[in-house]
Amino acid sequence: MTSSSHHAPPPSGDRFASLTPLLMPRSVAVIGASSDPTRIGGRPIAYMLRQGFDGLLMPVNPNRQEVQGLPAWPSVEALPQAPDTAIIAVPAAQVLDTLSALGRKGTRSALVFSSGFSEVGGEGEALQQRIVAEAKRWNLRLLGPNTAGVFNANIGYYGSFASGLERGFPLPGRVGIASQSGAYAAHMLGLARARGLGTPIMASTGNEGDITLGDAIGWLVQSPDIDVVVAYAESVREPEGFIAALEAAHRARKPVILQKVGRSALGKRAALSHTASLAGDDNVFDALLGDYAVVRANSSAELLNLAYTATRRIYPVSNSLGMVTISGGAGIIVSDAAEELGLPMPPMPEPAQVALKEKLSFCSPINPVDFTAHVLNDLALAGYFTTRLIEDGGYRSVLAFFSQAGTVPSIAPRLLAELTAVKRAHPDRLFVISLIGDATQNQPYEDEGFVLFEDPTQAVAAIHAMGRLGDAFARPLPVREAQPPIDLPAGRLSEAQAKALLAEFDIAGVEERVLDDAEAAVAFATQVGWPVVMKIASADIAHKSDIGGVLLGVASPEAVREGFATLLERARLHAPAAKVDGVLVARQVQGAVECFMGIQHDPLFGPFAVFGLGGIFVEVLKDVTLRRCPFGEAEALAMIRSVRGAPLLFGARGRPPVDVQALARMLARLSEFAWRAGPGLASVDINPVLALPEGQGAFAADAVIETCEVHHAP
Amino acid sequence: MTSSSHHAPPPSGDRFASLTPLLMPRSVAVIGASSDPTRIGGRPIAYMLRQGFDGLLMPVNPNRQEVQGLPAWPSVEALPQAPDTAIIAVPAAQVLDTLSALGRKGTRSALVFSSGFSEVGGEGEALQQRIVAEAKRWNLRLLGPNTAGVFNANIGYYGSFASGLERGFPLPGRVGIASQSGAYAAHMLGLARARGLGTPIMASTGNEGDITLGDAIGWLVQSPDIDVVVAYAESVREPEGFIAALEAAHRARKPVILQKVGRSALGKRAALSHTASLAGDDNVFDALLGDYAVVRANSSAELLNLAYTATRRIYPVSNSLGMVTISGGAGIIVSDAAEELGLPMPPMPEPAQVALKEKLSFCSPINPVDFTAHVLNDLALAGYFTTRLIEDGGYRSVLAFFSQAGTVPSIAPRLLAELTAVKRAHPDRLFVISLIGDATQNQPYEDEGFVLFEDPTQAVAAIHAMGRLGDAFARPLPVREAQPPIDLPAGRLSEAQAKALLAEFDIAGVEERVLDDAEAAVAFATQVGWPVVMKIASADIAHKSDIGGVLLGVASPEAVREGFATLLERARLHAPAAKVDGVLVARQVQGAVECFMGIQHDPLFGPFAVFGLGGIFVEVLKDVTLRRCPFGEAEALAMIRSVRGAPLLFGARGRPPVDVQALARMLARLSEFAWRAGPGLASVDINPVLALPEGQGAFAADAVIETCEVHHAP
């Protein structure tokens, strides 16, 4: 147990500093303290007595003078001092009075184990609102209700009743746990212990009446005792706090390894029946995380793998992988995995290949570099080859496959010495060894800071994730400054209004005009060039093609005249109540690739821009990409490149490449429009966007903007 | 160590029975035997002495009368009897004479550790051919050369120099290892030992001069000592043997868990530099495996997870998953994973949900069934809920999430008793528990046959794989009977020849005719209806559109006349040497969905049919599916449903569904054509196939057939 004198809280004045009394208390009251160490009010005391809480522990129980050997107080009022935090283990009905008493006493934080609040709905929901209001009244930060609690093993503090702690307390280390599920927090703790990973601080947020997952993450990343945070999330309830936490993590260069569940329809159903809260749109969430140093783990095994690797605090920028191996087979496995993840494994430079061949004629010197099991008979080669790999190949990450051979007693000490010399000479490289050994055999490698994996495929995944974190830390945080808002017209916008609004953001429509007489239409068509498109112009007819209100390929003056009459007739017939402004005539752009751009407003995180190719790509293949607004052209270009159909924009099938720069500009400007339009903008659909060949631009052929009323909080 | 009397070889007379002397020898000679137990010729002897080989061990060394305490013989000739097998650990140059001597003596099998053969190319390749021929001459089965050997721990036999065995011998169990890489075989052994999985028999095939991976798999699946085979493959060298092994596995109801590497371009490059052999087309390989009870693992961790689960020998047919959990979070995680894999998790029937709610008001009774941590205070509920899950929900597989709580001493014995009672009452269900414990804590659960996983996501993947195996075992093996061959015309086929050939297999073309005069073309166009397509008709012009040889949408008699002249002119200009048959005129089918069908001939496994949607789906998205020929309409329909663009065929975007039955019939018939055409058929491309609305059929609009000369072996 490390003494608390070495552990410091985050800087005061910070938005997360108010959690310090909760997570690093110097004095703790247990309300509803029990003499039975297996009961919910007894467990925290038993755990703290076993682990030696480094502060003042004050049981409160009206019926006892002593609890588990400690002097007990009859009430909150009777306590000799205001505690930094209070553990509340009384029935739900007594929580409100308890909080009042704690507030009056000057208590700064509390956690409520008790259940029977919002998770049961109805009256529980109302009761929760009352206790949260009471806590706010006293400026007391509240964790829960219905929380499994917190612990901080660095000071022996256990504000938790998790039965898993009976099986073992957390190991020393620098990984923090933040979780919306108490049971899953215990699961993560158990897995971490089983693989020797230290997770000294945990916060489980329960019903999140006050303190949210974002608060917990934010405090942890600012703690000098924590390097890496693992987090489990079902739904984010407070977007500002969550984003502030991710920004704090980025500034502190501490990664968040996040398991966000409810990705699938079935998962969302399970989440709904579990917490009665919606998991939200997973694509939106993924797009949000892309701005920060967060990697998402899809399983608890992956979560632990990544957290373990991250404890080395080496996050390669522009990552690349070089490998040395005693097994050609392992080299193929690693190559497959690297390519599938998009982790580059460029070949060694030619002269270096020649040098390696001279040293060991039957080696395979490209990358993976296969020095075969022969290296086990001549271990100096291990050091030589690995040095050449780093110095000549320049790889940011190194993977060495030694499997069981690396822990055979006749081999291990010399091998460790060889590899350690290389590692110390290149401390900035992420150095991973694929090794099979027991804890004792592995420890000397761990002590030198090597990352160890039995499975080379998992090693590649971890290396790739560290590179993604490195790139994320290297990117500046997105700046979302307030900009002059745009006033949106009220109600439904006509196509012309929508296009005019977008034109102010340089989002050009195709040359077009609304005309109210057929001869003017013929004249305009002659001016822009044949063929033309004709559409009924009415803000009241949203789905024009449903009533036959769109004519394509109109190719002659007679056809324009005929079309004019047809469209007005159809409007009269199928939408007699609609106010018709006339007929819109536009040049029919040919040879364009049809794309889709849009804005979708997320209730939590605001506007997101969507991009995809048009038609089947959007409708059948759901081949779209999202990004939180606003963003610049470089980000827009990255979005455009990321869709599966992108080759069609870059010249597949013998077509000329389209004007991707113009597309990117349009998308970036659209994101700016959405940002400035604010919550009054419900959605934008520009469909199709016509992308013309390079240098010829991109045009919005149709645009729909929907607005909504914004209810301001009183 | 189990005595050999309990272990029997596969039935004699079988194609794999000739490997029995190699893998279950009663007598072994070691040629090049060494007194040094760390040398290649000393290790096998040392291992067998330590593990008590259950047979006669005869070191051969011309310079010693005794090796490691055993009497030694000076030569093969001097041996007191012909050994079942010989371990050859002499320099490459001496292997040939050694094999001759062994053959003369009557030896039935041998393995050659020595390297310096085909893996070094050139003379090594020639030397390998000579030793393989020598072995064949004596009817001696040869493993290697350049093999890491074999072991059969059930009889204490270690024909291996793997240094990994120094770290520990295989545990008792029923998983066999077959590998093309010795180092990776040792890695699998190490991983298996680390997780307590017994792998008593291993064969590493080295250069595969004679015995291949298929032979090893085939022997293992027929061994009464083996229930599950894990295999590592880089490239399959002997297709018949490999397929025979997979068929034998299917008949024996023993799954093969296969890690086939070289999936990616980078992986293929690594494989080429490692073994100088091409990894082959991974899609072809995947399609091949689809017929058999094989699951592919993409990492060694997954390989071990699946092999471990398979040792329970429960392979659910039409799998479905029911879950009970103490953590709602774990329930969401499992739901996400199940949906992503396509493993059904249907809800509990409504009356059963009501019953569960009555038993525990705050449970979540749908599926996952969340009985919360409350169940830990009332463990009878664990048995009750799990029984209801199986009996009312009818799920083929059950996952129970208990994490650390399942091994807490105050909980574990009672929980085990409750779950065991349920399991024994339903022995046909695959019963998995997500549990965190050490080996001692887990053992009682293992002893009852539960499958244990720490990570619930990995548990779902394993459950899903067992279901795929169950469905595979339930499907009959594909029958590929010889059928009357088709005589293919020699040389390049014209489009008309190709279509005529396909028409014999009911693959209808669009109504069309080759005409050599413009007025005949006009008459034919008038008869089939406007518009028509016109193409230059010449077997010598393969890519007609490259020379402007295809005209679409020809809509009037004048246009036909003009087009006729244009096409002949273009042919004269751009392909003056081509023999022109005239102009092909065809009805231009409209409103069809364009598809692609083809045959691709794999050099190892013969013809595979390919299906996809046309255009961008094939060219940009590579959205195609493959299946080995021949197959029936049901399989063809499954292929059609499996492509990502399939919704377009079933009525997406407001279109009518196309005639999928006709497509399936066409695809099945095409596969039959390819099967009967045999190796003389290089490829078929039917592009586009025009799929018309339901009931209106599907037509081959264009077809290219390429043939090749077949060189028969003398």
Residues paired with B58 in a beta bridge: B29
Does residue B647 belong to the interface with chain A, where contact is any CB pair within 8 Å? yes
Nearest to B299 among A259, A364, A455 (CB): A455
- Report the percentage of chain B scoring pLDDT > 70: 96
* Tokens (6 digits) for A121: 């709905």
- Residue-wise pLDDT tens digits, B73-107: 999 999 999 999 999 999 999 999 999 999 999 99
Q: Is the pLDDT of residue A77 over 90?
A: yes
Q: Is the separation of the CB atoms in A480 and A555 below 8 Å?
A: no
Q: Which of B36, B163, B303, B333 to mutate to test the interface with A (most CBs of A within 10 A)?
A: B333
pLDDT for A712 equals 52
- Residue-wise pLDDT tens digits, B392-410: 999 999 999 999 999 988 8
- Residue-wise pLDDT tens digits, A190-232: 999 999 999 999 999 999 999 999 999 999 999 999 999 999 9
pLDDT for B1 equals 38
pLDDT for A377 equals 87
Q: CA-based angle B635:A623:A669, to the nearest 5?
A: 170
Q: Do B187 and A336 touch (CB under 8 A)?
A: no
CATH code of the domain made up of B321-474: 3.40.50.261
Q: State mean pLDDT over B489-501.
A: 84
Confidence class of residue B7 from pLDDT cuts 50, 70 and 90?
low
pLDDT for B2 equals 40
Q: Is the pLDDT of residue B444 over 90?
A: yes
Superfamily of domain B4-310: NAD(P)-binding Rossmann-like Domain (3.40.50.720)
Does residue B492 belong to the interface with chain A, where contact is any CB pair within 8 Å? no
Residue B181, min C-alpha distance to chain A (Å): 6
DSSP reduced 3-state for B249:
helix
State the pTM of this model: 0.90
Q: Do B298 and A411 touch (CB under 8 A)?
A: no
Amino acid at site B549: G
- Residue-wise pLDDT tens digits, B608-657: 999 999 877 777 778 899 999 999 999 999 999 999 989 989 987 777 89
| Residue indicated by tokens 């998995």 | B432
B-facing residues of A in 283-322 (CB < 8 A) are: 298-302
What are the extents of the domains in chain B? Answer: 4-310, 321-474, 511-587, 593-707
Does residue A641 belong to the interface with chain B, where contact is any CB pair within 8 Å? no
Residue A320, min C-alpha distance to chain B (Å): 14
Q: Show residues of chain B in contact with A191, CB under 8 Å.
A: 436, 454-455
C-alpha–C-alpha distance, residues B659 and B667, integer Å: 13
Q: Do B373 and A183 touch (CB under 8 A)?
A: yes
Confidence class of residue B434 from pLDDT cuts 50, 70 and 90?
very high
Within this chain, domains A321-474 and A593-707 share the same CATH topology: no
pLDDT for B713 equals 44
Nearest to B166 among A335, A408, A456 (CB): A408
Minimal-distance CA residue of chain B relative to A646:
B620
Cβ–Cβ pairs < 8 A, chains A and B: 275
Q: Is the pLDDT of residue B265 over 50?
A: yes
pLDDT for B4 equals 42
Q: Do B187 and A328 touch (CB under 8 A)?
A: no
B-facing residues of A in 128-147 (CB < 8 A) are: none
Q: Is the pLDDT of residue A12 over 70?
A: no
Does residue A364 belong to the interface with chain B, where contact is any CB pair within 8 Å? yes
Q: Is the pLDDT of residue B278 over 60?
A: no
What's the mean per-residue pLDDT of chain B? 92
- Residue-wise pLDDT tens digits, B185-197: 999 999 999 999 9
pLDDT for A5 equals 43
Amino acid at site A470: G
CATH topology of domain B511-587: Dna Ligase; domain 1 (3.30.1490)
Q: Do A404 and B259 touch (CB under 8 A)?
A: no
Does residue A332 belong to the interface with chain B, where contact is any CB pair within 8 Å? yes
pLDDT for B283 equals 87
Higher per-residue confidence, B601 vs A75: A75
Confidence class of residue A142 from pLDDT cuts 50, 70 and 90?
very high
Phi and psi for A706 in degrees, rounded to 5? -115, 135
A-facing residues of B in 530-549 (CB < 8 A) are: none
Q: Is the pLDDT of residue B12 over 70?
A: no
Amino acid at site A52: G
CATH topology of domain B593-707: D-amino Acid Aminotransferase; Chain A, domain 1 (3.30.470)
- As for the ipTM of the complex, it is 0.88
Question: Alpha carbon of A216 to those of A150, A204, A232, A473, A515: distances in Å?
Answer: 10, 8, 11, 21, 60
User: What is the helix (H) or strand (E) element at residue A521, kind and residue range?
Assistant: helix A518-528
How is A609-641 classified by DSSP, letter by letter? EEEEESTHHHHTS--EEEEESP--HHHHHHHHH
Q: Show residues of chain B in contact with A263, CB under 8 Å.
A: 336, 340
Confidence class of residue A564 from pLDDT cuts 50, 70 and 90?
very high
Q: Is the separation of the CB atoms in B334 and A269 below 8 Å?
A: no
Nearest to A274 among B261, B364, B438 (CB): B364
Task: Find, among A267, A311, A301, A310, the residue nearest to A285 by Cα.
Answer: A267
Nearest to A261 among B181, B336, B621 (CB): B336
Q: Is the pLDDT of residue B274 over 60?
A: no
| Residue indicated by tokens 């001692």 | B440
